[in-house]
Structure formats: C-alpha cells, structure tokens
Structure 1
Amino acid sequence: MQQDKHTTSHHRGHLPQRPEVKHQDTLDLREFWKTLVRHKRMIFIMSGATLALALLFTLGSKNVYRATATLQIERESTNILNFDFLELSGDIRDTRDFYQTQYELIRSRTLAAQVIKDLKLDDKLSETSPLTSIKQWLGISNKATEATALENAFLANLRVEPVKTSRLVLVHYDSSNPEQAAQIANAVVATFQKMNTERRINTTNDAKTYLETSVKESKAKLDESVERLDSYSRDNGIIIVNGKIETSTSITLNKLAEELLKVEKELAEKESVHAILTDANRPMAERVGALQGNVSYLQTMLKRLDDLKAKNAIESNTNLRKEIRQMEAAVKMEIDVKSRALPGEIENLKNSKRAIHDSIAKAKTEAIKEQDKFIAHGTLRRQVETNQELYQDLFRRLNEVSIAGGIAANNVAIIDAAQVPLKKFKPNMLTNLSFGALMGLLLGISAAFLREFMDDTVKSANELERVSQLAILGVVPEVLNNTPSQLAQLTIKEPKSSVAEAFRSLRTAMRFVLRNDNNITFVTSACAGEGKSTTATNLACAYANAGGRVLLIDADLRNPSLHRTLDIVAAAGLADYLQGNIDTNELVQATAFSNLSLIPAGKLPEDPSELLSSPGMKTLLEAARTEYDQIVIDGPPVLGLADALVLASLADTTLIAVRAENTRMAAITNALKRLRQANVNLSGLLLNRVALHRGNSYGYDYANYYYNDDKQTETGTAKKGVVTTLRSLKLM
C-alpha cells in the first residue's frame, strides 16, 4: 500500500497546476445580460402578468372626469386703512407656510362637510376608486362612520395644485359624473372664499369686543389711580409745579441753594479784588480797574496822571514832577481806602455763607424725612401715567377697529370657474399599459437578480475554477429526450453529436493528466444525480473508440447502474470478488462495444467501504493495470460516504463531475475539502449538462462548432443563425 502511494505521488508532479483565477473588480455588462437571458422566462411571465393586471384594471375602472377652478390667493389683504396692528391673516413669517396653510384649508374636513351639506351629496357622490366600489359591492360599509367615509371619499377626489411662480391655485375635482365634477369644484372655491371672509369678519368682531372690554377696564383703573394720587398729594402737602413734585421744605431748600450760590459768587469776587488792591507790584491802572462801583473819578485821575507823565517826558521840569507825585499819592490813597473796607465785607459774606449752610443742613434733614412721601407719590404718579397711556392706546385701537370692520378686501379671488369637462381624465389605456409593462419588467428583473443572488449553484466557469482551484477539463452540453442508457452510449452510437465531441475533448485532456503508467481514473461527484455514471461510461467509450483496451469498473456498491446502462445481466460482480465468492474469470464481462469490458458491482454488501479498502481491491487494480490501457472507476459521491475517499486513494487521478445549475458551490467546496484531506490526486472538473443555448456564463463557446446534424430542420438552422449573431455581438 505504501509503495502504491509512493508511485502515485511520483507522478503528481506532472499534473497541471491549479489555475489562479482573479476576481473581476469591474462591472461586466455581459454577465448581467446573461443573467437576464437565463431568467427570461420568469421576466416575460411577470411582465405579462403585470400587463394583464393593468389591462384588467383599466377595463374595469370607471371613466373619471376632472373639473378645474382657478383661485388667486394673496399673501395679505389690501388694507383700505393702514392698521398694521390688525393682522387678519395671522402671524405668518414665511410665505411658504402661509400658502401651505391655505392649501390645507381647502382640503379641510370642515370645508368638505359644508360642501356636502350645501350640495346635498349624501347619496349623489360618485365613487372613482375601484377599491371603494368593491367595498360597497361587498357590503363592507359601517353605518356609524358614513359621514366620515363620505368626507374621505370627497377629499380623495379633491386635488389642490399651486401654479409655480404665481399666486394662482388650481382646484381639481374628479368624478365619474362630469356635471357633478364642475359643480363640486365651483362649490369648493366659493365655500373657501366665503369661509375666508367669515373668518376675517369674525376676527374683526372678536377684536372689537375684546377692545371694548379692555377700554372699560382700563378706564376704571385710570380713575382709581388718579383718585389715589390726588388723595395722597392733599394729605401730604405735595404740590406739582411745572410737572415737578414740590413741598415747603423743597421750596425752602431751593431758595437757600440760590442764596448760597449768590453769596459764594460775591465772596469770590471780593476776595479777588482785595488780592489785586493789596498787591503793590501791580500797575496802578490794573489796581484801579479791579475796583467795582463808582470809581470814575479815579479813572479821570489816572488819565490826568498819564497826560502829565507824557508831558514830562517831552519837557521835564520841577513843577511837572511835583504835580505827578501829588497825583500818584492821591490815587494811591483812594486805593488804600477801598482796600481797607474790603476785609469787613468779606467777613460778612463768610458769615452769611455759614448761616446759609446751616439752614441747608436743616432743610436737607427735613427733605430726607419727606423722601418716602416722594417715592410713594412717584409710584402713584407712574401708575396714573401707565394707565392713562394704556387707556388712550386701547381707545384709539377701538376706534380704528370700529372703522376698519368690514372694509378690508378679501385676499381670495375666484379667477376662473370650473367648466363641465368634455373628455375623460382617466383611465388612460396607453399610460396604464406602459406603466404596467414597465413595472412588470422591473419586477421581473428584480426577481431574476434576487434569484441569481440567492442561488449558489454552479453558473460560471470562472467562479467554479476560482472556488475549487481546479481546472475545468471539459464541458458536456445538455441533451434532452434521452434515456440514461442512451446518454451513456452517445459517444459510440452518435459520434457526431456534441456529447461525443465533448468526451473526446475530455479524453484528450486526460492524456495530459495520465502519463507513464498512470491509467486508473476515478470518476465521482459531490452529490448524487450529477452524471458521474454517465461521465464514466462515455469516457470509457471514448477511450475504447480510440482503440485502447478499456476496463470500466462499477465500484458504486450502494447504488450500481452501469450494468443496466450497458444492458448486461450479471449475477456476480466486484462485491462478490472482494468477498472471495468468485475469481477473476467470472468477474470481467464483455460489452456490446469493442475494446470495452465491464466489472459490474455484483450483490450489494452490508459494508462497502470495508470491501473497497481490502487488499483484494488493490490487487485487482494492479492486475488490471497490466492488461488494460485505461481503467475507469465509477464510484459513489463524496459527501456522506467514505467509499469515494478509499477509491480516490487507489486511483492515479480523480475526476469530479459537476452538474451545471444544479450542484451547489458549498457542496463542491466540502467535497474537495474531504478529498484534499485524504491527500488524493485531483485531475480536474467536468462540467456536465450545460445548457449552452440559455446564455450561461461558462466561458466556453461550443454551441456553434459541433458537427451539424443532417436531420436538423430549417427552424433549427434559423435559430442557430440567431444565436450566432447574438454571440458575435457578445450579447450571449
């Protein structure tokens, strides 16, 4: 056994390496197209069903007519009198909020109920909704909510459409009765205008009532505050002079302040004059000028003295100088007389100042005592002023509201009344069918991609090679309307078929895998039903057709099928041989095909894995290796059974059959994991039953190169031509 493993390992270095397939990071539109082609039937069915539903809905719907009235809604009404305080339209800071409020008022239940009442639409309101009609037909109508249901039906048919970049609003109403549609549309705009006017009038009346009440209350408060102020002033001897609060003490204090200011001024003047007169260094003229009162004679004397000095300067003599000295002595004597009288006057003024200060101190003491009276009086006075201002303002506004009531223009105007519609508004057959077709197409495409996303079966050769890290050695196209026996013999019986060509290609690929003395191939699959028995039979037939001696072994001791496929009746087989019940002469069976022999499975044992791992199986294969050019073993699937691992370890290479669009990627991954853990030699994958005409992404373009069948019809030829054209455009 160790020697066999060594021999097998020796030839593994000549096997092809696992491909390294890179992810495609870019968007592949062809893959999208192929996905749509694979699921085209589902897309067509969903599109057709949706289109049929749209058609039935259109045919079953009532004709609906739309009448339209036009309104003009201004942001604010035109004020005949400029009363800014009276905001009849409300405190709306944003124009968009204002207009949105108007639209909601048009769609309000209050307006709907008023129109229904005015037009008496209790039993005349036509229904346009198919769902509502179905409910009425089934009798699902609650008596307790008939009014609400009527309003809901009314509002469901009412539409408000603002005209962009304007103050116009279109009011639509839909009805199965064209006359009723126009009638209701006109009633809606008229009711809205009326309700808007009433709201404005009610606002004015409410404001007038409120102001009248407020004026009365304000007048009473004003009278009361005036009475309190007068009483307090009389009781406390407070007098208002030029708008100022005065008392006897404050008057006395003001007079004393005036006297003090006068004395201080006079004292400052006397002291200044005394300082000048007593300053001998000052010129005589300046000292004389500082004197106040009747000193004109001194001015005359100074003038005479100046004249004498000027004359003495011209012609000096003794008499002139004597006269000048006498004149100066006289002036000086007068100045001294005046200066000696000033200290007494200054002292008297100082005494007066001190007396005034004492009086002021006493008056301030009295004023401080009266301060609380002033504060209380000021509080009462401010209350009177506040109440008076409030009363005057309210009285003025009451007069303005009385004048403004009813003269403000309505900000809602009806521009165009609704006319009876002549053409139906809906249903629109073309629009509904187009929408239904588009919706069905979108639903179908979404379902296709959802199914593609949820389906993890094998759909792409590149993805399969990337996940398995094995090369795909062959692609077998799908063949319909054939029994398993016919499929197993297609390689020999129909050599020009696409299946035969596929297995010949597989045979060629296997020659590069099996070199030297390696001639044992084990064919298995991840799960049952993936075509491993068909693959083993056709591969053996392909080898036999090439002229080599081929032995086909049915090693599936749990569910054998090769003896039925090749029409051989065998009472004994491999299981009987391994149990020692027969010898090799009874083991190998001839088939109907030249160069091809079969070892059937025989009687099914209780423990197949024990028989397959026995020394007899290894001895059988070693003996067969010398007598046959190729040995093909058909075994059970890998998952869930140990038989496949035993057979894979005995074979030179293992070929895994994968059924396209049936085998799950997870199953392949788990099967390969088990095989690799057993350290077996994996040659590659065979992609089986590939529906090439369905646009699968297997990366092999075999559909147009197989031998043409002489019996193909013109329809088939045309179909191949279409497929060829699509492939040339890279749409398939």
Structure 2
Amino acid sequence: MNPQTPIPSEATLHAVDYWQVIKNRYGVILLTLLLVFMTAAVITYVMPKKYESTAVVEVKAPSPGLTVLGRENTELSTGAVSAQFFATQFEVIKSRNVLSKVSDQLELPNRWGYDKESVLMILKGIVDAQNRRGTDLIDIKVRHTNKEDARDIADEVAKAYYTYRTEDEKNQSDAQLKELSRLVQDQEDKVEEKRKLLTNIVRTKGIILTGQESLYGAAINEDDRGAVSARETANKLEQEKIQIESQIQTLLKYDSDQLLTYAAGLNLPENIIKALYPQYLELQRTISTLKTQGLGARHPLVLAKNQELGNMKRQLDEGVASLKDTLRAQLALAEGNLAKFKVLSDEKTGEALERSIDSTDYLQAKNDLEGAQDMLKAMKTKYVSEKAQVRMTSNFVKVHESPVIAPGPVSPNVTLNLILGAVVGLVFGVGIAFFLEYLDTSVKTLEDVERYLQVPVLAVVPKDVGVLHKQSGMSPDAEAYRILRTNIEFNRKNPEDNAITVVSGGAGEGKSTTLVNLAYICAQGGYTTLMIDADLRRPRLHTFFDINNSVGLTNYLTTELMLEDVILQTPVDNLYFMPSGILPADAAGILNSRRMSELIQDVKQRFDLVLVDSPPILGVSDASVLASEVDLTMIVVQHRKLPRNMLMRVKRAVEDVGGHVIGVVLNNVDVRSDSQYQYYTSYYTYYAPAESQPVSHQPAAAAQSSSAPPARPQAQAQGQKDSELY
C-alpha cells in the first residue's frame, strides 16, 4: 500500500474519538450543563417582570412642494420613503426634545423620584421604535415594570412625536416661505434694473426699430441696405477694372494676326475691328481663290484686290490703336469709380458696424429683461402655490392604535432563557470536556502505551473486576487474564524466564489484584504458581486468602528458616503463597541481599511461574531491587490515571537496574464508555461456559498447615498447561 494513501475511515475515526471524549467526560458535561441551567433559571427568577405597551403611528414624508426655489426633492417626490428616513424618525422619537415633553406631561420626576436627567436616561432605554416591513407604520414600544406607566409613556411618546413633527414641519415651511418671499423681492429689483438698462441703451444709442426683426432678432433699416449696396457696387467695379486690365495686357502681348483675332472678339463700343476683320478675312480668301484660278500677281484684278486689302489692313491697325486708347480710358474711369465707391463703402460699413453693436447691446439687454421677467413670474406663481399649500392642514403623523395595558409580562422569557441556558451549558460542558482532555496527559489508549514505551500491551482488564478465586463458577472476567497468561507465554523469549515481578508507578493501580488473578488463572491452567508478597511497605496479598502474614519472606531472609516453613498452599490447586512476614525497618536492604537472589533461583526451579508483588516503583527503591533480581517485569497501568511521562519513568527505572520489561497490563478500563476497547473484551457478549464448576475452598487453617512446596512440575501438569494455552 502506498504510505501516502489516506485511510478511508480516518474521518470516521476522528468522529468516534470526539464521541469517546464526550462519553468519558459526560459527568463534567452534565455537571456544567446543570450549573449553567440552574444559573439561568435563578437569574430568570430574580429578573424583574417587564410589561410592554405599543402605539402604532403612520408616518408620512414631508411634502415635496415645500422647497425654496421650486426644485422638487427627487427622493421624496417619488412617493417612496427610504430606509434612512425611518431610521431618522426612530432617532427623533427617542430624541431629547420628544422625551422631555413626555417627562413634563406625565410628571415622571415626581412619580419616579428621580431628577429629570435620570428620567430621560431611563426613557431612552425603555422606548423603542420599529418599522413594519412594507408599510409606513411605526410601532412605538415601551417596556417597564409598571404596566400603567408603560401604557402612559407609549401614549405620550406618540402624542409628543406628533406635536414635535407638526411644529417642525410648520417652522420649516414658514422659513422656506420667508426665504422665497425674499428671493421674489430680489428678483423684482433685478427686473427693474434690467428695464432701466434697456431704456438707457435705447436713449443713448438712438435706436429706432423699423421693419421686422431678423432671425437673430435685429431689425434691418435703409442705411444698412445702402451699406450693402455700396459694398456690392465696389466689388462690381473691382471686377470690371480687373477685366479691363486683362484685356489691355492681352492686346500688348499678341502680334498683328493674333491681335486682330483677339480684338475682333472684344465686345466694346466703337470697335470697328469687329466689323472689318471678317471683311478682311473674306478679302484674303478672294485673293487666294483668284490665284488658284491662275491669275498672276500682276493681274489687274489681283492688284486691285491687294490694294483694297492693304487699305483695310491700315484701317484695322488704326482700329487696334483706337481700341487700346479706349481701353485705357475705360481703365482710368473704372479706377476712379472704384476709389470713390471704396471710400463710400468703407463709410457705410463703419456706420453699419456701429449700428450692429448698438443693436446687439439692445437685444442683449432686452433678452435679459425678458428672462428676468419670466423668472419673476414663475417665482410669484410658486410663492402663491406654496403659501396656499402651507395653509392647508397636512397630517404627517397619524396615530392608528393607542396603547393598552399589557395582559402579562413579556420579559423575562422563561422558556427562551432556559433553552439558552441549556444550550450554553451544553456548549460550555463540551468545551470544558475537550479542554480537560487536552490537559490530560494520562494513558488513554493502547497506542499511547506502545508509542511511548515501545513495549506491547499484554492485556486490557475491564473495570470493577473482582478477585477471581472468590467468585463462584466461571466468570467472563477471567478471560482477560487468560489473554494475559497467553501473551506472557509468547512474549518471553526464554522459557526459563519464569520469575516475574509486577510493578506499578503509583499506589492503587490494581497491581496486587492483577497478580492474584493472574496467579489463579495460571494455576487453573496447570501451572504450579508461587506468589511472593515482596511489598514490604504495605503488603496486601495475604488479605485475598485470609492468611496470617506474620511469618514469611522477611523471616526467611533474616533467619535460618527453611523454604517449606514460609510457603503456604492456598485453597486453589497448584497455587502457593509466600507472605511478606514481619515488616522490616530497611526493606530495600533486606531485598538487596544474596539470600534473596538464592531464594529467587530456588523457587524458579521448584515452580512453573513465580509472581513477585512489589511496592510502587516511583515511591521506593524496593521495586527496582526486585526488578534486578527477577527475569521479567510486568507493569500495571491504571487507565486514565498515570501521566505518560511518569509511565516512561517507570520503564526507565526498571531498565536502569538491568531489568527487562515484558509488557504492560492496562487495568481498570471502562469498556462501556471507551468503545475502542470493546473489541478487546468482546468475549463478554458471547462468553458462556458449558457448565459451571465451583471452586473448592479449603479452610485457612488447612492452608497454613499445608505440605511443603512441590518440586519441578510433572509431565502431566505440563501437558495440561499446554493444552490450556492452545
């Protein structure tokens, strides 16, 4: 499997872990829940009862017509009231002005015995206003311990708000009308000033309007037409002058034939060339025809025609010269006329420009006057309409429901407070449970043991398991110790390592009970088992069998007693017991002796299993001495008691003296609440022995007078043991 592949049930396991924490600490959760719930109940009981009265009023926005310059309020003219408007009215209802009217009207300082400032603070705290969604209605709610006071205050708040709002709207309207009246007067003054300005322009400029006004509003008179005519005449003369100059330049440029052709085309008075030139050309064609007919140059007819052609040529030349003189005379005349009309045109144009400027000033003043008059008319109309509207009665606040005396208290809400107390208590309880779980560093799971100690968990012993040899019949509790016996057998590397000491970190972890029950199960399985009570501080093994411990281990170690004198046979077959004996002053010194080592080696040869009980290893040094003497050490850890760092110190104390930890027994596990251990003890659900075999008990006196300890187990016992293991 890819190590990076997530476990599919990881989220489920986490959820189970959370539920496990709740199950383990349900007592803390229930206690916290009960405390918070009771606190909520007590607080609810001692809280004063409050009664609520409500007045329902309808609130309208100010009229959009009450404006200074006739510009409508776009927010209010639509007929819709914004959320900001209602929020503002809520603050107005709880304002000092409104509440002061309520205090004065009801004489609350005398009624309650407080000064006015204190009364206003109380009113501000008990008065509340809320808008009904989708309507213009406001609920004015008052909560007070006195139901009559609640009703009276709610009623007076509605009336005071109505009065305040009406006076405020009237004051605003009067102020606006006054401002509008002042603006109307200012506008009248402006109209009068503009009228005087227009009159002054007409008088000083001498403007007399004749004819109809043009597109731009200016009038056209005869003087202006003369200026336009003079400008047009000057332009015409200018064109004629240019034309004559062009004709003269052309006449000077052409030779005789071209000159005659061009001159014949000029449309000028007394232009004989225009009439002679065609005749001249016709005569040339005639001479050419005669020559074509064979007549010579000396022929009388040809000579006559040539002479006639010469006379005509002279007349044409004289005509061209006369035409040039005529053009020069016309040019001089045109230049003179042009100069004269230019002067006239400039004079007319200047006069027209002056009249145009005067007309522009006049039109500007006239337009300003008309605009001011229109504004004044509109303002007067607005003023009249506003004044009429102010005189009309406008109900901006209307009371729809008057407050009544509340039939019962509305606060405190017992049901809600108790539910909240239960919820808060449950949340706090769960939080405290998880916080305690976070702070708890004790051993909780098998993984904790194996992670920190690097040794296996040999068995999980359920909570409240009693002493097995005192129970009648076969008990399901014994199965945990059978598992322990099997795991010990398979976890010891050497079969000869049969001396095991049972240690724990502290007192009360079930070390002695675990040793007695394990010894009993091993004896039932055919093992000849010896229990040695080496806890020379607080011995307890003898109490499980009701045996006197006055003679035992300490007597053997300090005297010359034989082993048979200190080992007793218990009422259980194959189970033997060596009591602690008289408690010595130096227990560690007695245990750390050569005779103790010889004792361990001797009993290892005589018994299949030797179980040595010891005091807590972290309290005294006795357990460390025993761990160094025996083959193996088994640590008993009470579930959710010993912190992890202390458990690690237990293992280190054993290893520091050369001992070997075979494993850990997780004792006193509440399998009902810790569901993760249920599959370790699932035999409780189906374990049912085929038949009950009661354990035979011998009297204590018989146990004390039992025979000597047995030798090394026989083959039959070994066979019975192996069959029990497998």
How far does the alpha carbon of each residue in 1:572-606 deviate from its partner, in whole angstroms, 9 at most, with x for none? 6556666x555554873325444312152654454
2:667 counterpart letter in structure 1: N
Cα displacement (A) at 1:441: 3.6
Q: Distance in 1 between matches of 2:457 and 2:594?
A: 33
Query: Among the aligned pairs, what percent are the same residue?
Result: 25
> Which of residues 457, 461, 464 is equivalent to 1:479?
464
> Which of residues 631, 656, 659 is equivalent to 2:635?
656
Q: How does 1:490-639 map to 2 (within 5 A)?
A: 490-494=468-472, 496-514=474-492, 516-564=495-543, 566-570=545-549, 574=553, 581-582=559-560, 585=563, 588-590=566-568, 592-594=570-572, 595-600=575-580, 602-606=582-586, 608=588, 612=591, 614-639=593-618
Q: Distance in 2 between matches of 1:40 and 1:614?
A: 50
| Unpaired stretches in structure 2, ≥5 consecutive residues | 1-6, 198-203, 208-229, 290-304, 343-367, 693-726
2:578 counterpart letter in structure 1: L
Q: Does the aligned pair in 2 maintain the 1:491–1:499 contact within 8 Å?
A: no
Taking structure 1 as reference, are residues 305 and 197 closer, same or farther at Cα in structure 2, changes over 3 Å only? farther
Taking structure 1 as reference, are residues 707 and 212 closer, same or farther at Cα in structure 2, changes over 3 Å only? same
Cα displacement (A) at 1:652: 3.0
Q: How does 1:329-728 map to 2 (within 5 A)?
A: 330=319, 333-339=322-328, 342=331, 404=386, 406=390, 412-414=396-398, 416-420=400-404, 423-424=407-408, 426-427=410-411, 428-479=413-464, 489-494=467-472, 496-514=474-492, 516-564=495-543, 566-570=545-549, 574=553, 581-582=559-560, 585=563, 588-590=566-568, 592-594=570-572, 595-600=575-580, 602-606=582-586, 608=588, 612=591, 614-639=593-618, 643-672=622-651, 675=654, 680-694=659-673, 697-699=676-678, 700-701=681-682, 704=685
Cα displacement (A) at 1:50: 4.6
Taking structure 1 as reference, are residues 682 and 333 closer, same or farther at Cα in structure 2, changes over 3 Å only? farther
Q: Distance in 1 between matches of 2:263 and 2:56?
A: 101
Taking structure 1 as reference, are residues 96 and 597 closer, same or farther at Cα in structure 2, changes over 3 Å only? same
Q: Distance in 2 between matches of 1:290 and 1:670?
A: 143
Q: Distance in 2 between matches of 1:651 and 1:661?
A: 28
1:589 counterpart letter in structure 2: I
Q: Secondary structure at the match of 2:108?
A: coil
Cα displacement (A) at 1:631: 0.9
How far does the alpha carbon of each residue in 1:316-374 deviate from its partner, in whole angstroms, 9 at most, with x for none? 99789977984785366334443377589979999x99xxxxxxxxxxxxxxxxxxxxx
Q: Secondary structure at the match of 1:529?
A: coil
Larger Rg: 2
Q: Does the aligned pair in 2 maintain the 1:492–1:541 contact within 8 Å?
A: no
1:671 counterpart letter in structure 2: V
- 691-700 vs 339-348, greater mean Cα deviation: 339-348
1:512 counterpart letter in structure 2: F
How far does the alpha carbon of each residue in 1:254-295 deviate from its partner, in whole angstroms, 9 at most, with x for none? xxxxx999999988985674244212359999999999xxx6
Taking structure 1 as reference, are residues 265 and 72 closer, same or farther at Cα in structure 2, changes over 3 Å only? farther
How far does the alpha carbon of each residue in 1:99-129 deviate from its partner, in whole angstroms, 9 at most, with x for none? 333333333344333322223333557xxxx
> Which of residues 114, 131, 136 is equivalent to 1:162?
131
Structure showing greater relative contact order (alpha-carbon pairs closer than 8 Å, 6 or more residues apart): 1
Q: Secondary structure at the match of 1:122?
A: helix
Q: How does 1:248-397 map to 2 (within 5 A)?
A: 270=241, 273-280=244-251, 281=254, 297=269, 326=315, 330=319, 333-339=322-328, 342=331
How far does the alpha carbon of each residue in 1:6-58 deviate from its partner, in whole angstroms, 9 at most, with x for none? xxxxxxxxxxxxxxx99945454444444444444444444445555555555
Cα displacement (A) at 1:419: 4.2
1:184 counterpart letter in structure 2: I
> Which of residues 44, 61, 64 is equivalent to 1:78?
64
How far does the alpha carbon of each residue in 1:588-642 deviate from its partner, in whole angstroms, 9 at most, with x for none? 332544431215265445472x665555443332222111111112223344655
Cα displacement (A) at 1:76: 5.7
Cα displacement (A) at 1:429: 4.8
Q: Distance in 1 between matches of 2:101 and 2:261?
A: 108
Q: Distance in 2 between matches of 1:554 and 1:394?
A: 123
Q: Does the aligned pair in 1 maintain the 2:266–2:274 contact within 8 Å?
A: no
Cα displacement (A) at 1:519: 0.9
| Unpaired stretches in structure 1, ≥5 consecutive residues | 1-20, 126-142, 230-238, 243-258, 354-385, 481-486, 711-732
How far does the alpha carbon of each residue in 1:685-711 deviate from its partner, in whole angstroms, 9 at most, with x for none? 22222334445643334554567999x
Is residue 111 from structure 1 mapped to residue 98 from structure 2 by the alignment? yes
Cα displacement (A) at 1:656: 1.6
Q: Does the aligned pair in 2 maintain the 1:66–1:174 contact within 8 Å?
A: yes
1:339 counterpart letter in structure 2: R
Is residue 66 from structure 1 mapped to residue 52 from structure 2 by the alignment? yes
2:362 corresponds in structure 1 to none
Cα displacement (A) at 1:518: 1.9
Taking structure 1 as reference, are residues 305 and 517 closer, same or farther at Cα in structure 2, changes over 3 Å only? farther
Q: Secondary structure at the match of 1:698?
A: helix
How far does the alpha carbon of each residue in 1:150-183 deviate from its partner, in whole angstroms, 9 at most, with x for none? 3343333333223334444333223455554444
Cα displacement (A) at 1:79: 1.9
Taking structure 1 as reference, are residues 80 and 154 closer, same or farther at Cα in structure 2, changes over 3 Å only? closer
TM-score by length of 2: 0.64
Q: Does the aligned pair in 1 maintain the 2:458–2:663 contact within 8 Å?
A: yes
CA RMSD of superposed structures (Å): 6.0
1:158 counterpart letter in structure 2: V
Aligned length: 610
Taking structure 1 as reference, are residues 706 and 215 closer, same or farther at Cα in structure 2, changes over 3 Å only? same
Q: Does the aligned pair in 2 maintain the 1:523–1:635 contact within 8 Å?
A: yes
Taking structure 1 as reference, are residues 464 and 307 closer, same or farther at Cα in structure 2, changes over 3 Å only? farther
> Which of residues 105, 109, 112 is equivalent to 1:122?
109
TM-score by length of 1: 0.64
Q: Does the aligned pair in 2 maintain the 1:54–1:436 contact within 8 Å?
A: yes
1:455 counterpart letter in structure 2: D
Q: Does the aligned pair in 1 maintain the 2:57–2:399 contact within 8 Å?
A: yes
Q: Does the aligned pair in 2 maintain the 1:64–1:176 contact within 8 Å?
A: yes
Q: Secondary structure at the match of 1:502?
A: helix
